[in-house]
Amino acid sequence: MPKNESGLPSDFHSEPTISTKRIYEGSIINLRVDTVRMPSGNSATREIVEHSHAVCIVPIDDDGNLVLVRQYRKPAEDALLEVPAGGVEEGEVSEEAVLRELQEEIGYTADHLEHLASFWVAPGWATEYMHAYLATGLRASKLQGDEDENIEVVRLPFDEAVAMFKTGEINDGKTIAALLLAQPLLTKR
């Protein structure tokens, strides 16, 4: 078998799927169990949560405040302070999802969007891939929010929000990542 520079088999970073069993299909997620072939030839199982691509947004108003949402999250059993976020719907591109989520969650649209980065949310067990954006030039524009969401809009100076994740008051991973990605751009302005 061919080997790479580190002496490992050339297919070391691959796990071909032998079989897939769908366990659950829901409106937001699906769950499947894949049996895969390991480079050693042995088989292993992988439990995978399927989720659409998603967006998260760092919206900055004309006064330089960050516009966040506080929303109760049942898995955390807490109301978390987060950047607006949501799934990319079928047929939508991420920029369209950003503008829709801004309107649904905080009642604004944005004149300027800047893609910050894209990243896997939990690659050990989920297919969710997040696209982070900076949104500026906010203008009032409300869409009806999702019926199953109870959201409070919170405005904070950007630096105060950064300090809050350092103290644990903001502890949502996508929010921390998005703020850190936006920070160098906002300190230049």
CATH number for 133: 3.90.79.10
Q: Is 147 labeled as catalytic in the residue annotation?
A: yes
Per-residue pLDDT tens digits for 76-116 = 999 999 999 999 999 999 999 999 999 999 999 999 999 99
Where in the sequence is the domain holding 38, given as residue range(s)? Answer: 17-51
Distances (CA, A) of 120 to 24, 133, 164, 182: 22, 15, 23, 18
pTM of the model: 0.89
- Residue spans of beta strands (DSSP E) within the chain: 17-25, 29-37, 43-51, 54-59, 65-73, 78-82, 85-87, 108-120, 129-140, 151-157
Residue among 82, 101, 147, 152 flagged as catalytic? 147
Same domain, 161 and 142: yes
Same domain, 102 and 150: yes
Per-residue pLDDT tens digits for 40-51 = 899 999 999 999
